[in-house]
A = this chain, B = another copy of it.
Amino acid sequence: MGSQDNYYSEENHGHHEYLDLGDFPLISGEVLLNAKLAYKTLGTLSDKKDNAILFPHMWSGTSASMESFVGSGRPLDPEKYFIIFPGQFANGFSSSPSNTGAPQDAGNFPNIMIGDDVIAQHELVTKVFGISELQLVTGWSMGAEQTYEWAVRYPSMVKRAVPFAGTAKTTPHDHIFVRSHENAIKSDPAWADGFYAQSTDVHVGLRRHAEIWSVMGLCPEFYKQEVWREVGFTSIDEFLVGFWEAYFKPMDPNNLIWMAWKWRHGDVSLNSKNNLDEALGSITAKVTAVAFANDMFFPPSDIVEEVSKIPNAEYRLVESLWAHFTMFCMNEKDKKAIDNIFTEVLSI
């Protein structure tokens, strides 16, 4: 219901497993009824259960989004590690506006916090797999938010944490920015408070949303140097349609909105009475926080500032004109830079 017929399908995103969470109490006090968390795994959990990596995904993604970082001979080698790609609520496979029945269907879906995702993922890691320590928790963007939440909420379980292009607490600018994206979708009368018949009915809202992403998702120099030629486009307008609109158009508008709400409310200090210094100071994982140059969502300066408050943290900057989307590894240089970070981190 709600989403384009085949987008959230195994055909597009591969096979998922599901953890049944029952009626799942949310941080807000509401209860997510008959909740389920989708996930995927690669590799084999060792007998000692000491080779697990958790790799939550970004906003707009699914458990399949980060699979491309894993491969034989690469730092995240499934022959060595057991890699879990947990879903998050509202991603279209886990409980989401697009797949939940009344009374929590579509526009009635409850708001979710990053902490809710992490609590659900903790159930998965501990109860399904019996893992007591993760060798690495890593993620990009909203995946970084989940990484920080893991490191603060379950410090003894996180040996290493590598958040890419994300913050432990959403900044005010990032907050109003993400809200403007949500509002771009909502501005389409066809959104109808979330109660559209099909996601494609809201295509104008999704296009508006894509337009704003095209401005802030990359950086001025990307467009000036026409870096879109790297990926086969021959004009900027072709890129705007063929990259940005094409990316968002098949997705479910509500799923994007509910994940975005979660994104902008990300804040590990909720675990310590709004004291961010205390929350970050409580992290025991070895943290390597990675910023992407030119990132307009998570400027390097915001990441540097948080790193300074984490006891055992290092900072890395990856230079790329793909800005926030450096993680897409649209060229070999970016892919190598990220792999090198994983190699470095896992060698210690």
Contact B223 A173 (CB under 8 A): yes
- The reply to whether B171 and A224 contact each other, CB–CB distance below 8 Å, is yes
Q: Which residues of B contact A180 (CB under 8 A)?
A: 211-212, 214-215
> Contacts A189-B189, A212-B212 given: A219-B183 contact, CB under 8 Å?
no
Q: What is the CA–CA distance of A296 and B36 in the complex, to the nearest angstrom?
A: 41
Question: In the complex, what residues of B have CB within 8 A of residue A208's CB?
Answer: 183, 187
For A177, the chain B residues whose CB sits under 8 A away are 215
In the assembled complex, the Cα of A251 lies from the Cα of B216 at a distance in Å of: 26
Cross-chain contact A224 with B173 (CB below 8 angstroms): yes
Pairwise interchain contact B189-A220, C-beta atoms closer than 8 A: no
- Residue of chain B at shortest CB distance from A296: B296
Judge whether B219 and A173 touch: CB under 8 Å: yes
Find residues 291-310 in chain A having any chain B CB closer than 8 Å to their own CB. 296, 299, 301-302
User: With an 8 A cutoff between CB atoms, is A31 at the interface?
Assistant: no
Chain A 218-252, CB-CB to B under 8 Å as 1, else 0, gives 11111110100000000010001000000000000
Bound: A171/B240 CA distance, A = 16
Q: Which of A153-189 contact B (CB under 8 A)?
A: 171-174, 176-177, 179-180, 183, 187, 189
Contact A236 B183 (CB under 8 A): no
Q: Can you list 14 A-B contacts (CB < 8 A)?
A: A171-B223, A172-B226, A172-B236, A173-B215, A173-B218, A174-B220, A176-B211, A176-B215, A176-B236, A180-B215, A212-B212, A215-B216, A220-B299, A224-B302
Q: A173-B223, A180-B214 are in contact. List 6 more A-B contacts (CB 8 A).
A: A172-B226, A173-B219, A176-B211, A183-B208, A189-B189, A215-B216
